[in-house]
A and B are shown apart, each in its own frame.
Chain A
Amino acid sequence: MDNIIEVRHLSKSFGDNEILSDINFTVNKGEVVCIIGASGSGKSTLLRCINLLEKPSGGEIIYHGNNVLDNKHDVYAYRTKLGMVFQQFNLFNNHNVLSNCTIGQMKVLHRSKEEAEEVAMKFLKVVGMDQYINAKPRQLSGGMKQRVAIARALSMEPDVMLFDEPTSALDPEMVGEVLAVMKELAKSGLTMLVVTHEMGFASEVADRVVFMDQGVITEEGTPEEIFNNPKEERTREFLRRILRDAKPD
């Protein structure tokens, strides 16, 4: 299979605090991989290590056969190949919707304004935000902001999209619109690595689910294996807790 990213023995410490240890997994082309796990288990840190927003303490990240942790590797070029969607949206406050989606294309990929706008419009349509191109981020609802943030990342035409709990900061009534967009993207064959607490989403669209606990991957498998037949006690415990929280009655 065609793997895009291969993480080998990755570790990360903040000071003496080891947050990630010996993480191994791959993301293959066209796959949707969901990372689940309790709060503080290191999911965000893992995602941030993958696009080098955090510097890993050890291990390798192989992208198309090259270790991106090599000093010689071009970090900036590598990052353009990974689209990142943050929990807090992080839309550029000084740009409107359209220019949020064009600024990276123009200034990093050196596309012309016309080309950048064409690409941006294509993806703003995909997320259903093409009517709002003149709006500033502060004028949008959370769900709308997150859809624009997805379009912004897609506009760079990355190899793989990284989502860090894209719906966790949203009011419940806006979660659906963002998940709907993500499901569309998954169906279209986009490679996605998604940290999520939305078990419904994970079981529906994931090709593989990775369960993390206290900085290590304890279990990995298809959604059926993880959700219906978890081997590890910690996975079972986590799922029991999260399902109980989801349905209080």
Chain B
Amino acid sequence: MTWKWFIKIITDYWPMFLRGAGVTLYISIIGTIIGAIIGLIIGTIRTIPQSDNVVKRVLMKIVNAILTIYIEVFRGTPMIVQSMVIFYGSLMLFNINMDKMFAGIFIVSINTGAYTAEIVRGGIISVDRGQFEAAHALGMNHIKTMLYVVLPQVIRNILPAMGNEFVINIKDSSVLNVISVTELFFQTSSITGNVFRFFEPFLIASIIYLVMTVTVTRILRFIEKRMDGPENFNVIPGNQMQVARPEDLVKKPGKTGC
């Protein structure tokens, strides 16, 4: 009976499921974070304003071309194929036997980076030009403007999209089983080999995937709320006012300012 098997497989193999889920989460978290950083860096580079200097302009053209190729290649080919090419390619061509876990994180990261670069570029373009100008007017250069003014706003704005990437990574890291990364799908497959049943182990796996993705979505929503800060602000009373206006008297501490 299916239900009996279901219970039995869980009781016998829960450590393997757990380890698999752990590896899946680990690869997805690290991969998403590194991917986001790659995306932020590339997005920043691709929005550097054109220089008057000819050498710099040519250099930027070359860099941009390389980045475009990177984005197109990784967005345009399946991750499962990339895994094979990168893992066995590095073995054959460079005689490098990549650590499985490292290979997994590497593949997920550069994939996420390719997608995030475009998300970030869109995010940067959508930040009001006035924010850049105000930062420049204070004497900030492009890097400082990005670091202290623009990117924090971009990160907040792309957080929902990044959450999406994270969820996709949790699911799609399952393709890494083709290079024997011991993530959840791989572990589940091994279990099927022991119990000679397919339905119950994969049902369990799908439940675990679902729990992970739903939990991650909730946590990210919470972080978004936190980043927005409190809806209210406190008026600090008792300070000497130089010019008193009626509106200042109306505003009570803790009242929303909108």
Q: Encode contact with A along B219-237: 1 for CB under 8 Å, 0 otherwise.
A: 0000000000100011111
* Chain B neighbourhood of A156, CB < 8 A: 138-139
**B130 to A131, Cβ gap below 8 A?**
no
* Chain B neighbourhood of A82, CB < 8 A: 137
Query: B residues 59-112 with Cβ under 8 Å of A?
Result: none
Stretch from A59-67, A85-93, A198-206 that touches the partner: A85-93
- Chain A proximity of B244: nearest CB distance (Å): 7
**B236 to A134, Cβ gap below 8 A?**
yes
B: contact size bracket: 35 or more
Chain A residue with minimal CB distance to B242? A128
Query: B residues 113-148 with Cβ under 8 Å of A?
Result: 128, 130-131, 133-141, 144, 148
**A128 to B131, Cβ gap below 8 A?**
no
**A90 to B243, Cβ gap below 8 A?**
no
- Assess whether B194 is interfacial by the CB under 8 Å rule: no
CA distance A130 to B243 in the complex (A): 11
* Chain A neighbourhood of B243, CB < 8 A: 128, 177, 180-181, 184
Query: A residues 95-114 with Cβ under 8 Å of B?
Result: 95-96, 103-104, 107-109
CA distance A91 to B235 in the complex (A): 19
CA distance A149 to B131 in the complex (A): 12
- Chain A proximity of B57: nearest CB distance (Å): 15
Chain B residue with minimal CB distance to A139? B257
**B258 to A104, Cβ gap below 8 A?**
no
Partner of B237 from the list A53, A128, A131 (CB cut-off 8 Å) is A131
Query: A residues 190-234 with Cβ under 8 Å of B?
Result: none
Q: Encode contact with A along B176-192: 1 for CB under 8 Å, 0 otherwise.
A: 00000000000000000
Q: Encode contact with B along A128-170: 1 for CB under 8 Å, 0 otherwise.
A: 1011111110111100000001001100100000000000000
- Chain B proximity of A26: nearest CB distance (Å): 21
- Assess whether A126 is interfacial by the CB under 8 Å rule: yes
**A92 to B239, Cβ gap below 8 A?**
no
- Assess whether A79 is interfacial by the CB under 8 Å rule: yes
Q: Encode contact with A along B34-70: 1 for CB under 8 Å, 0 otherwise.
A: 0000000000000000001000000000000000000
* Chain A neighbourhood of B149, CB < 8 A: 92, 94-95, 103
* Chain B neighbourhood of A149, CB < 8 A: 134
* Chain A neighbourhood of B134, CB < 8 A: 84, 86, 90-92, 149
**B137 to A139, Cβ gap below 8 A?**
no
- Chain B proximity of A139: nearest CB distance (Å): 3
**B137 to A134, Cβ gap below 8 A?**
no
Query: A residues 176-193 with Cβ under 8 Å of B?
Result: 177, 180-181, 184
**A77 to B242, Cβ gap below 8 A?**
no
- Assess whether B11 is interfacial by the CB under 8 Å rule: no
**B229 to A136, Cβ gap below 8 A?**
yes
**A77 to B139, Cβ gap below 8 A?**
yes
Residues of B within 8 A of A (CB): 52, 128, 130-131, 133-141, 144, 148-149, 152-153, 156, 229, 233-237, 239-245, 247-248, 256-258
13 A-B pairs (CB sep. < 8 Å)? A84-B134, A86-B134, A92-B149, A104-B138, A107-B148, A108-B138, A126-B242, A130-B236, A130-B239, A131-B236, A133-B236, A134-B236, A156-B139
